[in-house]
Amino acid sequence: MLAALRQQGLLENTLVVFTADNGYFHAEHSLADKWYPYEESIRAPLIVRDPRMPAAQRGQTNDDFTLNVDLAPTFLAAAGVAAPARMQGRDLSSLYLASTAPSWRTEFFYEHATIKNIHFIPSSEALVRKDLKYLYWPDFQHEELFDLTADRAETHNLATAPNQAKTLASLRSRFAELKAAAK
């Protein structure tokens, strides 16, 4: 694709974004497919080739949280069009064009609706941070809490641990705020 754009003289005037669907479980958490808010399922690749990007920035990896809702504002901004105020997401080009790192999201709200029925694929919601993740299963009123620093595989649910009560309460509160803001 890049070769074709180069051949047509369009490469230096074209924002190219590669992304894909979210990941699949291959028996992690004893699951298959991709419907739940564990790390294996919620991540999606994102590669940006922007001709405005300084040469020194090219080829670098950034671990900031970007979301699919950021794509439309990014495309609009690259075209010189302001995103409507009601549009969720942010132009992510500041992550690679700004001379200093911009203030960026440090958490996000995740949700997935029930498919067919709760016995097939129940709904799930989460507050995702780099260090912690709070999961809520509304159909079962079940909570999970993971320390992603110590447990990247999300195998030790800390939601019922007495020493995590304060953290759990704080995450519940923030989760409710983000969920309300997503409506």
| pLDDT tens figures, 112-156 | 888 899 988 889 999 999 999 999 999 999 999 999 999 999 999
Integer distance in angstroms from the first to the last C-alpha of the chain? 38
Which residue in this structure is represented by tokens 């110590």?
150
Tokens of 21: 């669907």
Mean pLDDT taken over the chain = 90
**Sequence-ordered alpha helix ranges (H) in the chain:** 2-7, 39-42, 71-78, 94-97, 165-182
Q: How far is CA 99 from the centre of its chain?
A: 24
Q: Residue 47: what pLDDT? A: 94
pLDDT score recorded for residue 27:
53
Structural domains present in the chain? 1-105 (no CATH), 106-183 (3.30.1120.10)
Record the tokens describing residue 115, joined without a space.
Answer: 């498919």
C-alpha 113/C-alpha 97 separation (Å) is 35
Q: Would you state the pLDDT for residue 38?
A: 81
Residue 71 predicted with pLDDT over 60: yes
